[in-house]
Chains A and B, each alone.
Chain A
Amino acid sequence: MFVMWYRTLQLGIKSLWLHPMRSLLTMLGIFIGVASVIWLLAISEGISLEAQRQIASLGADTIIIRSVKPPSEKLSPQGVTPYGLKRDELDMLVSTIPTIRSALPIREIRRQFQYENVTIDGRLVGCTPEYANVTRLKIESGNFITDAENFRRENVCVLAAKVADRLFPGKNPINKRVYVPESKDFYRVIGILQHRNASAAIGGSLAAQDFSNDIYIPIRTLQQRIGDTVAMRRGGSFEGEIIELNQITLITRSIEEVKTTAALVENALTGHEDLQDIAVVVPLELLEQARTTRMMFMIFMGLVAAISLVVGGIGIMNIMLATVTERTREIGIRRALGAKRSDIVRQFLVETIVLSVVGGASGIVAGVICNPAISLARDIIKDRFPQTFAALPEVVQKLTPTIVPESIPIAFGISVVVGVIFGLYPAIRAAKMSPIEALRHE
């Protein structure tokens, strides 16, 4: 039995080899189908992993509350309406909700920074020492802000890597003083951070943030030196803003308590319904959403790939039907010489299976090289067309496909099944021919 199949396989390969071009084109359908299954899944997995990584970097055990500038029609035309989170609210949350392990208040203000004759625009971030842990900051040299410095409202600062490079080109910034002209303050540099990736906008409630122009100072220092009222020059006129805290990051005791804590927090923060000036973001929920999205994406991609495989299968069937017609006489000869109907079915089925398996296997090879292929394409575009490359969305620029291991056996299995299903009909048609008619066929 095994020998029979083996010999039929040899025969099939021989027959296919008679028309190499035709066989190749027939395989192309399955090849593209399988390769696209793997590619599409790998790309969507890559994007989704990146999204999950970014969300996870916010901390799965945290709840982020941000102050949001209310829509202009809700602000009174005269004067400046205070909005956003209050320091009292921070104290209230920490003291009333037991599942909160710690809380991290943040205040951000756009400022200019000067050192000697260099002036740059940047962001002054007031925070507590916790900030380094929660956002997983890596220190290049020096230290991050300490509790004592915060408590004593010291004029110290920690620079983001890019700020250090731009303000102190070729110099060691530690212990040098950065000047902030708007409030006429000097801050002594005590630490420099390693480069930190910008965060993408997540879920609409959290805007994208670029941390490369940040200077971190103790929040109590900021409160004393600058206060809550900030004047900003915008288009020739001054604009004021009264805001106590831009963000509070709450760290819960465990991931299991995140959702209940979030519900408690939303209940506790009353008085914001009217202005809609705060937003609560729960990274854990976003993470779960991202996973659901990933499933949807996978299903969608799978569907697209399935369609292309079916198209490939139809291609195979088309060719096999033509082949059966073309080889009618051969079928007649074989039947006359003792081939049973099942032998003829086997012969043609083996040929389609060979076509689809070879197509599928080469599709897998093409699928597996997805990652290097994309990097290569990216490098070429980067070299030849830098403007085009810069115009591409960041997701595309940074895309690293991740091959989903299951996609390989699945794609292969589907290609075999497609071969069998679409090969069966031509094979049965071949077997059903009367040997007499078949022998007479020219």
Chain B
Amino acid sequence: MISTTTRMACSVRDLKKEYVLKGETVRALRGVFFDVPEGDYVAIMGPSGSGKSTLLNMLGCLDQPTSGQLLLGDDDVATMSDDQLAEVRSRRIGFVFQSYNLIQQLSVVENIQVPLFYQGKLGKKENDRCIELAHMVGLDGRLSHRPNQLSGGQQQRVAIARSLVNDPYFILADEPTGNLDSRTTEEILQLFHRLNNEGRTIILVTHEDEVAKRAKRVVRLKDGVVQWDRLNSEDARREAAEHAFRNLPVES
């Protein structure tokens, strides 16, 4: 399995979550275990109703488990107050959403800056870093555009730049390619690949096998527990990338 000498970006220990919905208790998570070491690239899969979204909300510190532990670094998120959770979100997590979730009235650079804003970091240095990140994800020349002036792929790049701005413990991507065509999907997946090669930890929630195959490791949930947890071999990943590349529509 995973070497214990590596530092963990996050560890999930016997995580349970129950909701009360119309008088009935729904057990969304029934004891989930897994670790994400730093530098890992995990795809979380599972059919709808498997507890995928619930786990995502836990990992993103947007919700708290009924029982169990969720360690981000050394801290157990399960027992934190609302303000502490907000603090953790702004410092340790980089969100990428399916629908990009950019703030419409802000420019590209301002959107990238939002997590820093809530850390109270508003200086020139931070601004420069945001511009640098925008360049890094390939948005040169669009720094002061508004989200509605950008294509879906470009918006997702802004979101990825935003997720990197606070140097998070991990990037948490929720179906990041769900709204994109196959060409743009490929671009975004390549960007993730590059970031992972640079040492970024990525947790990606998806229901697409093609996307999951590109990750280093796949965790599959079913009925609120981990059904299996497998590593993708380097060959399989390369194979999947080449396959995707070959099947790209011919540019007209």
Contact = CB atoms under 8 A, between A and B. Distances in A.
Interface of A: 3-4, 7, 14-15, 18, 329-330, 332-343, 435-436, 439
Contact of B101 (A3, A340, A342, A439): A439
A337 B118 contact: yes
B57 A338 contact: no
B89 A336 contact: yes
B201 interface: no
Nearest to B82: A341
Contact of A336 (B82, B83, B101, B119): B101
A330 B89 contact: no
Q: Which 3 A-B pairs have the closest CB atoms?
A: A338-B90, A338-B118, A340-B86
Interface class of chain A by DSSP: helix
Nearest to B94: A337
Contacts of B119: 338
B95 A7 contact: no
Contacts of B114: 333-334, 337-338
B236 interface: no
Given A341-B83, A439-B97, A336 B60 contact: yes
B115 A338 contact: yes
B101 A329 contact: yes
Contacts of A340: 82-83, 86-87, 118
B122 A336 contact: no
A4 B122 contact: yes
Given A4-B120, A343-B118, A436-B63, A338 B89 contact: yes
Nearest to A333: B101
Contacts of B60: 336
Interface string B59-94: 010110000000000000000001100110111000
Given A7-B122, A332-B101, 9 more contacts: A3-B122, A7-B117, A333-B114, A334-B103, A335-B89, A336-B95, A337-B89, A338-B90, A339-B118
B120 A337 contact: no
Given A435-B62, A436-B57, A436-B63, A337 B162 contact: yes
B105 interface: yes
Interface in B104-152: 104-106, 114-115, 117-120, 122
B58 to A, nearest CB: 11
A439 to B, nearest CB: 7
A332 B120 CA distance: 19
B105 A337 contact: no
Most chain A CB within 10 A, of B60, B86, B105, is at B86
Contacts of B162: 337
A18 B115 contact: no
A45 B115 CA distance: 54
Given A339-B118, A436-B63, A15 B105 contact: yes
Contacts of A342: 83
A335 B61 CA distance: 11
A20 to B, nearest CB: 13
Contact of B105 (A4, A18, A435): A18
A330 to B, nearest CB: 6
Nearest to A332: B101
B72 to A, nearest CB: 14
A338 B91 contact: yes
Contacts of A341: 82-83, 86
A335 B101 contact: no
Most chain B CB within 10 A, of A330, A333, A338, A436, is at A338
Contacts of B122: 3-4, 7
Contacts of A4: 120, 122
B62 A436 contact: yes
B132 to A, nearest CB: 19
Given A4-B120, A340-B118, A436-B62, A335 B86 contact: yes
B62 to A, nearest CB: 5
Contacts of A435: 62
A329 B101 CA distance: 8
Nearest to B174: A439
A236 to B, nearest CB: 86
Contacts of B166: 338
Contact of A333 (B91, B103, B117): B103
A319 to B, nearest CB: 17
19 contacts: A14-B105, A330-B103, A330-B104, A332-B101, A333-B101, A334-B103, A335-B62, A336-B95, A337-B89, A337-B90, A337-B95, A337-B115, A338-B87, A338-B90, A338-B119, A338-B166, A340-B86, A340-B118, A342-B83
A356 to B, nearest CB: 21
A403 B155 CA distance: 55
A49 B84 CA distance: 61
Contacts of A3: 120, 122
A334 B97 CA distance: 13
Contacts of B104: 18, 330
A15 B110 CA distance: 13
A349 B97 CA distance: 28
Contacts of B57: 436
B149 to A, nearest CB: 15
Contacts of A439: 62, 97, 101
B24 to A, nearest CB: 19
Contacts of A339: 86, 90, 118
A436 B122 CA distance: 27
B178 to A, nearest CB: 14
A425 B190 CA distance: 46
Contacts of B101: 329, 332-333, 336, 439
Nearest to A18: B105
A416 to B, nearest CB: 25
A341 B87 CA distance: 11
Nearest to B118: A338
